[in-house]
Structure 1
Amino acid sequence: MRRQSKIDVHYHLVWATKHRQCWLDGSCERLAYSVIRREAEEVGCVVLALNGMPDHVHLVVRTRSCVSPAILAKQVKGVSSTCINDAQLLGDTLFRWQDGYACFSLSRSHVARVIAYVERQKEHHADQTIWAEWEETDVEVGN
């Protein structure tokens, strides 16, 4: 019997549209989520939750050790923005994501809680029960 390493890595990524524009609704949201899911799986992730609001996205994945958050974010953001622009879902407006993103590593004991939070994004925002630290997508840095 051959043995291999056991890897159990979970990430919660959050990123926003450029200038927090409310572009992710209807067909734009459906296309973005479809592409994000496909690209995350393409780089070797298992998508556990994917949801958001018109101006930002939450993605929870289980991944292999060779997939860094930077590789994952670059792939899903780059391909999804290209697909949205190619589909011309915003007319003449160029769809763009903000430059940064947030990534939180998750312990196994917290995965279910984070998945539930992501799955109920619209409810949390509607009733103001968001977890502020999980909604931040970037930080300011000094000179």
Structure 2
Amino acid sequence: MPGTFSQIYIHIVFAVKGRNSLICTEWEEDLYKYITGIVQNKGQKMLSINGMSDHIHFLIGMKPSCCLSDLVREIKKSSNTFILDNQFCKFRFEWQEGYGAFSYSHSALDNVIAYIANQKEHHRNRTFREEYMTFLQKFQIEFKQEYLFDWLEV
């Protein structure tokens, strides 16, 4: 019987609401494991996950039957509840609306995985805003400033 064969790799990026630095190193691994569980329970494959105190990156192998917006909505909703239920954060925690999703070929996976793994290193020299704008430009994604994340200017 014929089957469906695909190779879809998506790098997803989203931020804490208001770009507040609320993800603490003490519990970020628990958050990443929880998000990995959501991805796997939805039948997708987590290839890499990491981030900073104000945003996260993850790379998934995605089946063509998956609706990316539904998956991201579930990840944000469930992980937000997970953070609140475990009282990880002293402040009100929410994910910001929207996300970035960038597709890659199989030959680029090692570089993307290394990039995600080295988030803390990358952000010594570059802000999240600079990073995100670079993605939009690299992938030639048209955008309007008013629809980008809310940026905290430090």
Partners of 1:141 and 1:128 lie apart in 2 by 22
**Secondary structure of 1:26's aligned partner:** coil
* Contact 1:10-1:105 at 8 Å conserved across structures: yes
8 Å Cα contact 1:25-1:54 kept in structure 2: yes
Q: Secondary structure at the match of 1:78?
A: helix
1:140 maps to what in 2?
Answer: 145
Look up the match of 2:93.
95
Letter of the 2:135 counterpart: W
SS in 2 for 1:57: strand
**Does structure 2 retain, via aligned residues, the 8 Å contact 1:12–1:60?**
yes
Q: What residue identity is the alignment partner of 2:145?
A: E
Contact kept? 1:51, 1:57, Cα under 8 Å: yes
Shift in alpha-carbon separation, 1:131–1:113, aligned structure 2, 3 A = farther
Separation in structure 2 between the aligned mates of residue 60 and residue 122 of structure 1, nearest angstrom: 17
TM-score calculated relative to the size of structure 1:
0.86
User: Match of 1:113, as an amino acid?
Assistant: N
Map of 1:65 onto structure 2:
64
The structure-2 alpha-carbon separation of the partners of 1:28 and 1:135, relative to structure 1 and needing over 3 Å to count, comes to: farther
Deviating above 6 A after TM superposition, structure 1's stretches of 4 or more consecutive aligned residues are none
User: Residues 28 and 84 of structure 1 are in contact (CA less than 8 Å); yes or no, is this contact kept in structure 2?
Assistant: no
Structure 1's unaligned 5+ residue stretches are: none
Aligned residues: 139
More displaced 10-residue stretch of structure 1: 107-116 or 14-23: 107-116
Residue deviations 1:85-111 (CA, integer Å, cap 9, x gap): 0111123x2210001111011122222
Separation in 1, partners of 2:34, 2:136 = 22
Provide the rounded CA distance (Å) in 2 between the counterparts of 1:102 and 1:131. Answer: 11
Partner SS for 1:27: coil
What is the Cα-based RMSD across aligned positions, in Å? 2.3
What amino acid does structure 2 have at the position aligned with 1:88?
Q
Aligned counterparts, 1:1-143, within 5 A = 2-91=1-90, 93-128=91-126, 131-132=131-132, 133-134=134-135, 140-141=145-146
Structure 2 residue identity aligned to 1:56: H
Unaligned runs of 5+ in 2: 138-142, 148-154
Instruction: Provide the rounded CA distance (Å) in 1 between the counterparts of 2:131 and 2:19.
Output: 18
Amino acid at match of 1:123: E
**Separation in 2, partners of 1:102, 1:18:** 14
